[in-house]
Amino acid sequence: MAVETTLAATKGNLLNFAFVDENTKREIRRKLLKAVAIPGYQVPFASRELPIARGWGTGGLQITMAIIGPDDILKVIDQGCDGVVNAVNLRNLLVKTTGVATTYRTEEATIIQTRHRIPEKALRNDQILVLQVPYPEPLRRVEPSEQVTRQMHGENDYSLAWLDLYERVVRWGEITIGSQYPVLVNGRYIMSPSPIPRWDLPKLNMAETLFLFGAGREKRIYALPPYTSVKPLEFEDYRFRVEDFSGKCCHRCGSTKSYLDETYNAAGGERFYTCSDSDFCDERLRNGKGKGSADA
């Protein structure tokens, strides 16, 4: 049979608004409601394959696809920056299938999809942050079996998680968890905040914004409603600490109050620091602040 005949029968490749079909959206929407009703609990979902690879944001993307409408203004960032190649790719797919307006400015966005950072600027109650999650299970560090970790969550038995923290302190004198620091949500579920740095964790506690978390490959959705208690696990004598940038500032805008990326000059090789949040940095420059400005 000629290939042309097959192609004619498939009617080309007409897509639905926001790519996924309506029943896929319905399933995600139902699961989102349950996720919001049980803060920090991981709801399993079917998780469709997308033209973007697993591990590259299909979970966050499916959530965005299920909630986005033509009136939304979309911002997509990766490592805090709109221009990182994968953010560009994800944004293109969403724009091509929705026609939605986009922005690089945090304050203009209604939906922000992000990988590994929360914007520095506090988000409002009319904004939704969608986070891409590689490892939804915070207990996976200490227990490889999903059956077992699900039972631990169900029975509120988090002794292994606390033991892991304790052993790190004993070995290294510090809680040596960098990013993906486990948090206790609403006094009940231990949750992975996704690989955001510790710097960003305080933004989750009693926030004004709704946070939605999507793990496409692992097929889990979870959520933090606004005004929910989110506490990093810590000991009285070994407290949770954010990253230390003392003595450093952004070489571009002078900020000493944002999460900084350590970079090496491609030509000369010397080390310098830049704001990870590109819009935060740009806004400071727009407002006339800069290196050498008194108000850093």
Q: Tell me which residues in 156-185 interact with other proteins (CB under 8 A).
A: 172-174, 176-180
**Parallel, antiparallel, or unpaired for β 128-132 and 210-215?**
parallel
Tokens of 27: 């399933």
Stretch that binds other proteins, among 158-166, 278-286, 288-296 (CB under 8 A): 278-286
Is 155 near other proteins (CB under 8 A)?
yes
**For residue 198, what are its two tokens?**
């510790």
Q: Which stretch binds other proteins (CB under 8 A): 50-58, 159-167, 287-295?
A: 50-58
Within 70-129, the residues that bind other proteins by CB under 8 A are 70, 78-89, 92-93, 96-99, 104, 115-117, 125
Which candidate, 195, 216, 228, places its Cα nearest to that of 63? Answer: 216
**Cα separation of 234 and 296, whole Å?**
31
* Chain-centroid distance, C-alpha 2: 46
The continuous run of DSSP H or E covering 153 comes out as: helix 146-154
Report the site for other proteins in 216-245 (rule: CB under 8 A).
217, 219, 223, 225-229, 241, 243-244
Is 253 annotated in the active site? Answer: yes
User: Is 225:210 a contact under the CB 8 Å cutoff?
Assistant: yes
Which token pair is 95? 């724009």
Residue from 59, 60, 214, 253 carrying the catalytic annotation = 253
Give the 3-state secondary structure of residue 280: helix
280 sits near other proteins (criterion: CB under 8 A): no
Between residues 78 and 161, which has the closer beta carbon with respect to other proteins?
78
Phi-psi region of 286 (alpha: psi -120 to 50; beta: other; left: phi over 0): alpha
Residue from 53, 122, 256, 287 in contact with other proteins (CB under 8 A): 53
Q: Which one among 75, 139, 259, 283 touches other proteins, defined by CB under 8 A? A: 259
* Rounded CA separation 11/130 (Å): 33
- CA pair distance 94, 68, nearest whole angstrom: 9
Number of shown-chain residues binding other proteins (CB under 8 A):
124
Give strand pairing partners of 83: none
- The active-site residue out of 40, 59, 60, 80 is 40
Identify the residue among 266, 268, 269, 295 touching other proteins (CB under 8 A). Answer: 266
Site residues for other proteins, window 134-153 (CB under 8 A)? 134, 145-147, 150-151
Q: Which is nearer to other proteins, 137 or 161 (CB)?
A: 137
Judged by CB under 8 A, the chain residues 12 through 41 that form the site for other proteins are 12-17, 19-27, 29-39, 41
Q: Is 249 one of the catalytic residues?
A: yes
In angstroms, what is the minimal distance from the CB of 54 to other proteins?
3
Q: Which H or E run contains 212?
A: strand 210-215
Q: How many residues does the chain have?
A: 296
Instruction: Please identify which of the residues 59, 216, 249, 254 carries the catalytic annotation.
Output: 249
Active site residues: 40, 249, 253, 275, 281
